Chains A and B, each alone.
Chain A
Amino acid sequence: AQSVAQPEDQVNVAEGNPLTVKCTYSVSGNPYLFWYVQYPNRGLQFLLKYITGDNLVKGSYGFEAEFNKSQTSFHLKKPSALVSDSALYFCAVRGGGGSQGNLIFGKGTKLSVKP
């Protein structure tokens, strides 16, 4: 069965420092991986995806993610964090088999960026 794990409940970063939010996955077949962000009282916003191709994927708001097949990881990164990046971040993998459209989400990582 497809699954993702986000090992950190919370990540704290100072503004201007690089940030990493970790995600590992377990899939049968080729993984379709996604990152979404949820701001307070808002829906989930799509950040980026990996389907195939380059292992470094660039997304919205300056975020990028590195796909590592050998480590089964898909970590979210940003070179310089902003206070406005503070939010809840979800890693997701696309369901397999007959449920190819739905997403299976990790538990989420709360990112806190302090000035």
Chain B
Amino acid sequence: DSGVTQTPKHLITATGQRVTLRCSPRSGDLSVYWYQQSLDQGLQFLIQYYNGEERAKGNILERFSAQQFPDLHSELNLSSLELGDSALYFCASSSQGSTEAFFGQGTRLTVV
């Protein structure tokens, strides 16, 4: 168990809908990262937050957004969903000064 918790584990929704994925980082970790894993794109970095502020952006679509709350949990919001958004979404966290990140078990999103 990495200590990173993601909910829900599975999510099935229709095209055009909006969903929210939740991540609780390891205790004390200030950085949260979101990744998308799909068969065609592999594992791609989406966005990073550090202590409530956006730190870095990767290949994140404009329809997607994230935030990190004062208690350090993070949410990834996906809107106007398309079939191609079906993927496994991972959250990871790391502590200040640490070089490695620890991953949650992911949320599997299926858009039908």
> Which residues in A have some Cβ–Cβ distance to B below 8 Å?
32, 34, 36, 41-46, 49, 51, 90, 94-95, 98-99, 101-108
Interface hit among B64-72, B73-81, B97-105: B97-105
Pick the residue among B48, B58, B102 that contacts A46 (CB under 8 A): B102
Can you list 28 A-B contacts (CB < 8 A)? Answer: A36-B103, A41-B105, A43-B2, A43-B4, A43-B103, A43-B106, A44-B103, A45-B103, A49-B99, A49-B100, A94-B99, A95-B56, A98-B56, A99-B48, A99-B55, A99-B57, A99-B58, A101-B33, A101-B48, A101-B50, A101-B101, A102-B45, A102-B56, A103-B45, A103-B101, A105-B44, A106-B42, A108-B42
What are the residues of chain B within 8 A of A105 when measuring CB–CB? 42-44
Contact B90 A43 (CB under 8 A): yes
Bound-state Cα–Cα, A32 to B2, Å: 21
What are the residues of chain A within 8 A of B24 when measuring CB–CB? none
Pick the residue among B48, B56, B105 that contacts A42 (CB under 8 A): B105
Contact B45 A45 (CB under 8 A): no
Any chain A CB within 8 A of the CB of B86?
A: no
Contact A90 B43 (CB under 8 A): yes
A45 to chain B, nearest CB (A): 7
Contact B45 A32 (CB under 8 A): no
What are the residues of chain B within 8 A of A95 when measuring CB–CB? 45, 56
B103 to chain A, nearest CB (A): 4
What are the residues of chain A within 8 A of B31 when measuring CB–CB? 101
Q: Which residue on chain B has the smallest CB distance to residue A100?
A: B56
Tell whether A102 pairs with B48 under 8 Å between CB atoms, given A42-B105, A107-B42: yes
What are the residues of chain B within 8 A of A51 when measuring CB–CB? 99
What are the residues of chain B within 8 A of A44 when measuring CB–CB? 43, 90, 92, 103
Bound-state Cα–Cα, A103 to B33, Å: 9
Q: Which residue on chain B has the smallest CB distance to residue A104?
A: B45
Bound-state Cα–Cα, A74 to B4, Å: 27
